[in-house]
Amino acid sequence: MPELPEVEVVRRGLERWVAGRRISSVAVPDPRSIRRHALGVEDFRGNLEGATVSSVVRRGKFLWMPLSDSSLPGAGTDSGDAGPEAVPHTALVAHLGMSGQLLVESPEQPHEKHLKVRLSLEPRGDEPEELRFVDQRIFGGLFVTSLQPTADHMPGGAGSAWDLIPDEAAHIGRDPLDPHFDLEALHQKLRSRKTGLKRALLDQSLVSGIGNIYADEALWAARMHYARPTDTMRRPDTERIIHAARDVIARALDAGGTSFDSLYVNVNGASGYFARSLNAYGREGEPCPRCGTMIRRDTFMNRSSYSCPVCQMKPRNARM
């Protein structure tokens, strides 16, 4: 289940193996994986073939690769910097959903069972010449879209690809690892909402990159209940839950982020972290690592929530 740390691992792998390379051809064995590309398969291919991936950017769980037109002078260089006249205005966007993988492989490798999209890359040294999107449950997908300036972009960096965001991801908030993450702004939004804390953490428009697993882990670490009403949050409460989320995410990144040099840019790099380091998620009936009370599982939002009934006391005015 890729959340922010896994997506960041994939981003680093793509930066290493795909950035600066030109896409020569595109095959879409299963169009369902590009259903968010409204204009269809031929338009998808037309946008990509001949374009060069200039960099790889992530916010929350969205990944995108700004595209430069290779016919422009200076494009396709190692740096990906095609000059001020060629700031990318479109990007290939990838969301891994539940089960998506991006693999950099030789075209001779046998096709994976759930292979959905193949991008052929022009040769560069001995590097593999195919980028594959593999997805079992097809919650994820690829599409090409235009880039717009971020609503809250910081002065001084205008024009850089880092200040541009795909239209379809423009609504999501910055994630807790983003240097420009605004804790005070989040705090005010939480105060003005009438909902439960976990539901707010999973709302990507408030803060991005937190999924069901890390929400439960952050809540456990911060000793807060998932149904804590957000309009009762005081400033130290907001700091505590965000610091906990950032810590959990950073530790997962440390555990899973070391193998991105592998040719297989996949989402399994952090699976070892899940097995070893989860304190609450998936541990129903096991003792809380802090106090020994049995971890319980509750269902809401069509999802499971794992928590310690002692460390994370349910508030009287609980909100789901």
Partner DNA sequence: AGATGATCCTGAGCGC
Partner DNA sequence: TGCGCTCAGGATCATC
Q: Which 52-111 residues touch DNA, going by CB under 7 A? A: 60-62, 95, 97-98
> Residue with structure tokens 């106090």?
291
Query: Between residue 162 and residue 201, which ones bind DNA under the rule CB under 7 A?
Result: 168, 171, 193-196, 199
Which of 54, 204, 266, 312 binds DNA (CB under 7 A)? It is 204
Catalytic residue list contains 2:
yes
Tell me which residues in 4-33 interact with DNA (CB under 7 A).
32
CA proximity to 105, closest of 128, 124, 127, 121? 128
What is the Cα gyration radius of the chain? 21
155 is catalytic: no
Closer residue to DNA, CB minimum distance, 95 or 132: 95
Contact status: 319 vs DNA (CB under 7 A): yes
| 3-class SS of residue 224 | coil
CA dihedral 139, 140, 145, 149 (to 10 degrees): 100
DSSP letter assigned to residue 85: G
- Residues 54 and 92: their CA atoms lie apart, in Å, by 11
**CA–CA separation, 56 vs 52, rounded Å?**
12
Residue 275 sits in the site that holds DNA (CB under 7 A):
no
Answer yes or no: 3 catalytic: yes
Q: Do 123 and 76 contact (CB within 8 A), yes or no? A: no
Residue 138 makes contact with DNA by CB under 7 A? yes
**138: alpha, beta or left, given left = phi > 0 and alpha = psi -120 to 50?**
left
Residues 67 and 65: their CA atoms lie apart, in Å, by 6
CB of 61 to DNA, least distance (A): 4
Q: In the annotation, is 61 catalytic? A: yes
Q: How many C-beta atoms surround the C-beta of residue 39 within 10 A?
A: 12
Q: Is 137 annotated as a binding residue?
A: yes
DSSP states of 66-101:
EEEETTSTTTT-TT----GGG---EEEEEE-TTTEE
Stretch that binds DNA, among 10-18, 74-82, 145-153, 204-212 (CB under 7 A): 204-212
Which residue in the set 72, 154, 294, 301 belongs to the binding site for DNA (CB under 7 A)?
301
Binding range to DNA, per CB under 7 A, among 44-52, 148-156, 177-185, 210-218? 210-218
Angstrom distance (rounded) from CA 320 to CA 230: 10
Span of 45-53, 75-83, 239-247, 293-301 interacting with DNA by CB under 7 A: 293-301
Whether 193 has a binding-site annotation, put simply, is yes
Q: Which residues are catalytic?
A: 2-3, 61, 303
Where is the binding site for DNA, in residues?
A: 114, 137, 193
Residue numbers at the binding site for DNA (CB under 7 A)? 1, 3, 32, 60-62, 95, 97-98, 113-114, 136-139, 168, 171, 193-196, 199, 202, 204, 208, 211-213, 281, 299-304, 319-320
